[in-house]
Chain A
Amino acid sequence: AQSVTQPDIHITVSEGASLELRCNYSYGATPYLFWYVQSPGQGLQLLLKYFSGDTLVQGIKGFEAEFKRSQSSFNLRKPSVHWSDAAEYFCAVFTSGGSYIPTFGRGTSLIVHP
């Protein structure tokens, strides 16, 4: 069965600093990978997605993620964090042999210090 691991429950960064949120998945073939962001009390907004092709994908709000098959990872990055980026971030995966229902990681809470 597919699984998604987000090893960091909380990440704290200073405004203007760079950010990397980790995501590892477990599946034999190439999955469909997503990063979502959720502000408090809100729904989930898609930041970016990877299906195939270029392993570095660009998303909204200045985010990017890199798919590394050898490491089964899809880490989210941003070069300079803004205070408004404080939110919960979820990595999710679909797999081609499954029911196309996403499996979500447990989430990483991003705290931004001024």
Chain B
Amino acid sequence: DTEVTQTPKHLVMGMTNKKSLKCEQHMGHRAMYWYKQKAKKPPELMFVYSYEKLSINESVPSRFSPECPNSSLLNLHLHALQPEDSALYLCASSLLPGQGDNEQFFGPGTRLTVL
């Protein structure tokens, strides 16, 4: 299994809702990433988990809360989002944290719309 899966594919939520995005990989990768991508822009790194521990938080607002319950699963909990948070949210994984020659494998993304 060489893929990263993300659910749901699409999510529409109001500003008062609480929702979660899910990412899963079964490649034995120990680094997992959340990116936010606006249309026609490159992905922007949000969080990095290394060996199930949060290692990088790129000054992301607290309305985004990541969680890594185990080495295969990564969640992003959403609460009180703003319309400008509407974007494609991408999950990625790589074999080992801190290794430059480890390519990142990306999931298909969750298209989030905040009303």
Hey, which bits of chain A sit against chain B, CB under 8 A?
A: 32, 34, 36, 41-46, 49, 51, 88, 90, 94-96, 98-102, 104-107, 109
Contact B90 A43 (CB under 8 A): yes
B88 close to A41 (CB less than 8 A): yes
On whether the beta carbons of A42 and B108 are closer than 8 Å, the reply is yes
Question: Roughly how many angstroms separate A45 CA and B111 CA in the complex, as a whole number?
Answer: 17
Q: Name the prevailing secondary structure of the B interface residues.
A: loop
Whether A34 contacts B103 by the Cβ 8 Å rule is yes
Q: For the complex, what is the distance from the CA of A41 to the CA of B87, rounded to whole Å? A: 10
Contact at B56–A104, with CB atoms within 8 Å?
no
Asked whether A44 lies within 8 Å of B106 as measured between CB atoms, the reply is yes
- Known contacts A46-B105, A96-B100; 8 additional CB pairs below 8 A are A34-B103, A42-B108, A44-B106, A46-B104, A49-B103, A98-B100, A101-B45, A104-B43
**How many residues of B sit at the interface, in one of the four size bands?**
20 to 34
Is B61 located at the chain interface by the 8 A CB criterion?
no
* Residues from chain B with Cβ under 8 Å of A100 in the complex: 97-100, 102
Chain A hits for B109, CB < 8 A: 41-43
**Residues on the A chain within 8 Å of B43, using CB:** 44, 90, 104
State how many angstroms separate the Cβ of A85 from the closest Cβ of chain B: 18
Decide yes or no whether B69 CB sits under 8 A from chain A.
Answer: no
In the complex, which residues of chain B have a beta carbon less than 8 angstroms from the beta carbon of A106?
A: 41-42
Contacting residues, chain B, for A98 (C-beta < 8 A): 100
A94 and B94 alpha carbons, distance in the complex (Å): 13
Contact yes or no, B98 A99, CB < 8 A: yes
The residues of A that contact B6 with a CB separation of less than 8 Å are 43
